[in-house]
C-alpha cells in the first residue's frame, strides 16, 4: 500500500509535536475526547432534526479501552464518523496555519505552554504514540476505512471492517524512556483522573472498564477482582453547574478544552438567567490579544446551544463589535433546534439574550475597573482600542454605554485614568478636558503645544492610539465638559497679559505675518504670535475639525483622500527668532524667506510630519551657519 505524505505544514507541526518537550502530554486525551464529543454532537443533532433517522440517547457514548498486552489505548466513539475523503482531509492537513506561524514565532518564550494552548487536537496523539490508527465509518456509509501513521513520514489508508458508525482511535503507546514515563497512559486510574480533570463536563458518558477487588460473596476475607463498566465523567455541563461549586481552575480547564484561547482567561462571567428569557452562559475575557484579533480573519461570536445541543459555532449576533474579544457559549431552552442562521437574526429570544449579555459584560468590566484596577488596566491595554472604536462606530450610538470604560494616560498621574477621574479633579476655572495627540507619551510630553496648559497646572490626556481623537470627536463631551486639543486655536484659558500682549503684537506685525503667509502659500492658513509657547520658538496649531494628528492618520490609510488640517504657524514672540524675523522684514527678503521656511519645516518636524524637501532644509541650515 502506498504511503501518502502529509502536507508540508502538517509535517512541521507533527515534528514539533513528536519532539516536543511539552510537559503536559496528558492533554492528548482531552483532545481526542473533545473530538469524539464533537462528532457525537453532529450525529445527535442530525438525528434530532431528521425524521428519517431514529434517535436513541443510549447509543451515544465514548469508550476508553486499555490493552496492556499490545500497549494500546483506544478511544472509541459512536459519533458521525469520517468518510475516506474526510479521513484524508481532516487528518492530513492542518486547518489553522495561522496558529502554527504564531507558535513558531513564540517558541522561544520560556515556559510557554505552546502546544497545549492551541487547537492542534488530533496531532497531539503523536506525543505519546508510536503509531496512531484511526478506524472510522461515516453515517450513511456501509464501508469503513483505516488510516494509519507513525508520524512525520506519512500515512496509509485502506478499507476495513467496522460494525457500526463511529470512530476508533487506537494509540500504540511509546516505550518508557529515561526522561519520560509513557506507561502511565496505560494505567486505568491515571487515565480516569485525566478524564475527570479535563473532560468531566462532556455531555456524553465516557465509559471505562474498571477492575476493582471486592470481598467475595459469602466469605469474610476472600477477595476477587471484578471488572465493571463505569461512567467516569459527571456529564453535567459546566454551565449547568452551580457557580458555588466551581473553582477558577474548572473555568480555566473549560476555556482551554474549548480552545477559546491560548492564554488563561483574565475573567470569567457565569450567567444563569431566569427572567424573560432563560439561558445559561459562560463568557470569558481573554488575558492576551488573540494573534489574529486585529485582522480581517478574526471572527467574533459565541457558541450557541439549544438545550445543551450545539447548534452554531460562532453566533455573531450575540456579541456587539465592541465586545468582540469575549469568548464563550450560551445555552438556552427557549431556542428551537431547527433554527436557521437567517431566522436567528430575527429571533426575539436571541435578541433579548444578546442585550442581556451585553449589559452583563459591561457591568463586569465596570466592576473590574472599580475593584480590580490592575486587572482592568491589563484588559484595557489589550482591548481598550476596541472600546474606543466602539464609541466611534455606528455614529456614536453606543458612546454612552462605553464612555465610563475609557482610559487615557494622564500628564499628571503618569498612568491611565478614567474620564470621570479627570473631571472630578478639574478646578472650577478649568473649562475643558485637555488632550494632546502624538505617537508616544514621551513625544507628547516634549511637544511645544502642551506648554501653556501644563504651566497652568491643568491635567492633559495623552492620545497615542489612532482611534483616540476620532472617538473623542464623536463623544464631544463628558459630564458636560467639552474636550479640547492643546493645539486648537482657542484654548479657553483666561485672558491674561500674555493674551492681550499677543493680540497687540499680532496687530503690530500684521504686515510681517502677511508676508510670511505669502511665502508659505497654501501650506498654512495663518501666521500669528503664540499664546501658548513658553520656551519653544515655533509650533503648529490648528483650526477646524481635522487635527494634525488626524491628518497623519487619514493620510496613512489606503483610501487616502488627502484630507488636510488647517495649520497655523505660531511664533513665540519672546524668542530670539522673532527678533530676527522682524529685523529682516522689509530689508532682506531673501533672509525672511529663508527663516520663514526654516521655521515652518521645524514646526513640521516637531509635529512628526514629513517635510517637503529635506535636502533643501538641510542646505538652508548650512546657509545660516555661514
Minimum gap (Å) between residue 205 Cβ and ligand ADP: 16
The region of 115-123, 195-203, 288-296, 478-486 touching ligand ADP under the rule CB under 6 A is 115-123
Q: How far apart are CA 207 and CA 212, in angstroms?
A: 15
CB–CB of 27/119 below 8 Å?
Answer: no
Contact pattern from residue 150 through residue 169 relative to ligand ADP, giving x for each residue in contact according to CB under 6 A and a dash for the rest = -----------------x--
Q: How far apart are CA 209 and CA 133, in angstroms?
A: 21
Q: Cβ closer to ligand ADP: 81 or 537?
A: 81
304 touches ligand ADP (CB under 6 A): no
Contact pattern from residue 123 through residue 142 relative to ligand ADP, giving x for each residue in contact according to CB under 6 A and a dash for the rest = x-------------------
Q: How far apart are CA 306 and CA 311, in angstroms?
A: 7
The region of 75-83, 185-193, 273-281, 617-625 touching ligand ADP under the rule CB under 6 A is 75-83
The region of 34-42, 273-281, 282-290, 589-597 touching ligand ADP under the rule CB under 6 A is 34-42
39 touches ligand ADP (CB under 6 A): yes
Using DSSP, state whether 308 is helix, strand or coil. Answer: coil
The region of 117-125, 331-339, 526-534, 575-583 touching ligand ADP under the rule CB under 6 A is 117-125
Q: Cβ closer to ligand ADP: 207 or 591?
A: 207
Residue reference for cell 456614536: 396
Minimum gap (Å) between residue 39 Cβ and ligand ADP: 3
Q: How far apart are CA 247 and CA 270, in angstroms?
A: 12
Q: Cβ closer to ligand ADP: 122 or 600?
A: 122
Q: How far apart are CA 151 and CA 126, in angstroms?
A: 7
Minimum gap (Å) between residue 180 Cβ and ligand ADP: 23
Given 119, 205, 301, 396, the residue binding ligand ADP (CB under 6 A) = 119
Instruction: From residue 436, give the alpha-carbon distance in Å to each of 373, 465, 492, 568.
Output: 24, 11, 15, 16
Q: How far apart are CA 302 and CA 306, in angstroms?
A: 13
The region of 32-40, 188-196, 297-305, 360-368 touching ligand ADP under the rule CB under 6 A is 32-40
The DSSP secondary structure of 248-269, one letter per residue, reads: HHHHHHHHHHTT--SS-EEEEE
CB–CB of 106/114 below 8 Å?
Answer: yes
**Cβ-count burial 34-53 (b if 16+ within 10 Å, e if not):** bbbbebbbebbbebbeeeee
Given 30, 33, 36, 186, the residue binding ligand ADP (CB under 6 A) = 36
Q: Cβ closer to ligand ADP: 123 or 392?
A: 123
79 touches ligand ADP (CB under 6 A): yes
Cell of 99: 496558529
Given 82, 281, 433, 603, the residue binding ligand ADP (CB under 6 A) = 82
Q: Cβ closer to ligand ADP: 76 or 609?
A: 76
Cell of 278: 432563560
Given 20, 49, 72, 90, the residue binding ligand ADP (CB under 6 A) = 90
Minimum gap (Å) between residue 168 Cβ and ligand ADP: 9
Instruction: From residue 494, give the alpha-carbon distance in Å to each of 21, 157, 452, 528, 532.
Output: 67, 83, 11, 19, 12
Using DSSP, state whether 144 is helix, strand or coil. Answer: strand
Report which secondary-structure segment, H or E, holds 567: strand 566-571
Footprint on this chain of ligand ADP (rule: CB under 6 A) = 31, 35-36, 39, 77, 79-82, 90-91, 119, 121-123, 167
Amino acid at each position: 500500500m502506498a504511503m501518502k505524505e502529509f502536507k508540508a505544514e502538517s509535517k512541521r507541526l507533527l515534528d514539533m509535536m513528536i519532539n516536543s518537550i511539552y510537559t503536559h502530554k496528558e492533554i492528548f486525551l482531552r483532545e481526542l475526547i473533545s473530538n469524539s464529543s464533537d462528532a457525537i454532537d453532529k450525529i445527535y443533532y442530525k438525528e434530532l432534526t431528521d425524521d428519517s433517522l431514529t434517535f436513541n440517547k443510549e447509543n451515544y457514548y465514548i469508550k476508553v479501552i486499555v490493552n496492556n498486552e499490545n500497549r494500546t489505548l483506544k478511544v472509541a466513539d459512536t459519533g458521525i464518523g469520517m468518510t475516506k475523503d474526510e479521513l484524508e482531509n481532516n487528518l492530513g492537513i492542518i486547518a489553522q496555519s495561522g496558529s502554527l506561524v504564531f507558535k513558531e514565532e513564540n517558541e522561544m518564550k520560556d515556559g510557554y505552554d505552546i502546544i497545549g494552548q492551541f487547537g492542534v487536537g488530533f496531532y497531539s496523539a503523536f506525543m505519546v504514540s508510536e503509531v496512531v490508527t484511526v478506524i472510522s465509518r461515516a453515517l450513511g456509509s456501509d464501508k469503513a476505512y483505516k488510516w494509519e501513521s507513525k508520524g512525520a513520514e506519512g500515512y496509509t489508508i485502506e478499507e476495513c471492517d467496522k460494525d457500526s458508525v463511529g470512530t476508533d482511535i487506537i494509540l500504540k503507546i511509546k516505550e518508557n524512556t529515561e526522561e519520560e514515563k509513557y506507561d502511565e497512559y496505560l494505567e486505568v486510574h491515571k487515565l480516569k483522573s485525566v478524564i475527570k480533570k479535563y473532560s468531566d463536563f462532556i455531555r456524553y458518558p465516557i465509559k471505562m472498564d474498571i477492575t476493582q477487588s471486592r470481598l467475595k460473596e459469602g466469605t469474610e476475607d476472600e477477595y476477587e477482582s471484578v471488572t465493571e463498566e463505569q461512567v467516569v465523567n459527571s456529564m453535567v455541563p459546566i454551565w449547568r453547574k452551580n457557580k458555588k461549586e466551581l473553582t477558577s481552575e474548572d473555568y480555566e480547564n473549560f476555556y482551554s478544552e474549548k480552545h477559546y484561547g491560548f492564554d488563561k482567561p483574565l475573567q470569567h462571567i457565569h450567567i444563569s438567567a431566569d427572567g424573560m428569557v432563560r439561558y445559561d452562559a459562560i463568557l470569558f475575557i481573554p488575558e492576551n490579544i488573540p494573534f489574529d484579533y486585529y485582522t480581517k480573519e478574526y471572527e467574533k461570536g459565541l457558541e450557541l446551544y439549544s438545550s445543551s445541543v450545539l447548534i452554531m459555532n460562532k453566533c455573531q449576533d450575540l456579541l456587539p463589535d465592541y465586545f468582540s474579544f469575549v469568548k464563550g457559549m450560551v445555552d438556552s431552552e427557549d431556542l428551537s433546534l431547527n433554527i436557521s442562521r437567517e431566522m436567528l437574526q430575527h429571533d426575539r429570544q436571541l435578541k433579548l439574550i444578546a442585550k442581556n449579555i451585553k449589559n452583563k459584560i459591561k457591568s463586569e468590566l465596570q466592576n473590574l475597573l472599580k475593584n480590580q484596577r490592575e486587572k482592568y488596566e491589563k484588559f484595557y491595554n489589550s482591548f481598550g482600542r476596541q472600546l474606543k472604536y466602539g464609541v466611534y462606530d455606528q455614529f456614536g450610538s453606543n458612546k454612552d454605554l462605553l464612555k465610563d470604560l475609557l482610559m487615557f494616560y494622564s500628564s499628571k498621574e503618569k498612568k491611565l485614568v478614567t474620564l470621570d477621574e479627570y473631571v472630578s479633579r478639574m478646578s472650577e476655572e478649568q473649562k475643558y478636558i485637555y488632550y494632546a495627540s502624538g505617537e508616544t507619551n514621551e513625544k507628547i510630553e516634549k511637544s511645544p503645544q502642551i506648554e501653556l496648559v501644563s504651566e497652568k497646572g491643568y491635567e492633559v490626556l495623552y492620545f497615542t492610539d489612532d482611534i483616540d481623537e476620532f472617538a473623542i470627536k464623536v463623544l464631544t463631551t463628558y459630564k458636560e465638559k467639552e474636550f479640547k486639543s492643546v493645539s486648537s486655536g482657542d484654548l479657553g484659558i483666561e485672558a491674561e497679559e500674555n493674551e492681550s500682549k499677543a493680540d497687540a503684537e499680532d496687530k503690530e506685525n500684521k504686515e510681517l505675518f502677511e508676508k510670511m503667509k505669502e511665502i508659505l502659500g497654501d501650506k498654512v492658513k495663518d501666521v500669528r504670535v503664540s499664546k501658548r509657547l513658553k520656551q519653544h520658538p515655533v509650533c503648529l496649531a490648528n483650526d477646524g475639525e481635522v487635527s494634525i494628528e488626524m491628518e497623519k492618520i487619514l493620510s496613512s490609510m489606503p483610501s487616502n483622500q488627502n484630507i488636510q488640517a488647517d495649520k497655523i504657524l505660531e511664533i513665540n514672540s519672546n524668542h530670539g527668532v522673532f527678533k530676527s524675523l522682524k529685523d529682516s522684514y522689509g530689508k532682506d527678503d531673501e533672509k525672511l524667506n529663508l527663516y520663514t521656511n526654516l521655521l515652518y519645516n521645524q514646526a513640521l518636524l516637531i509635529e512628526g510630519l514629513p517635510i517637503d524637501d529635506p535636502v533643501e532644509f538641510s542646505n538652508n541650515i548650512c546657509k545660516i551657519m555661514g
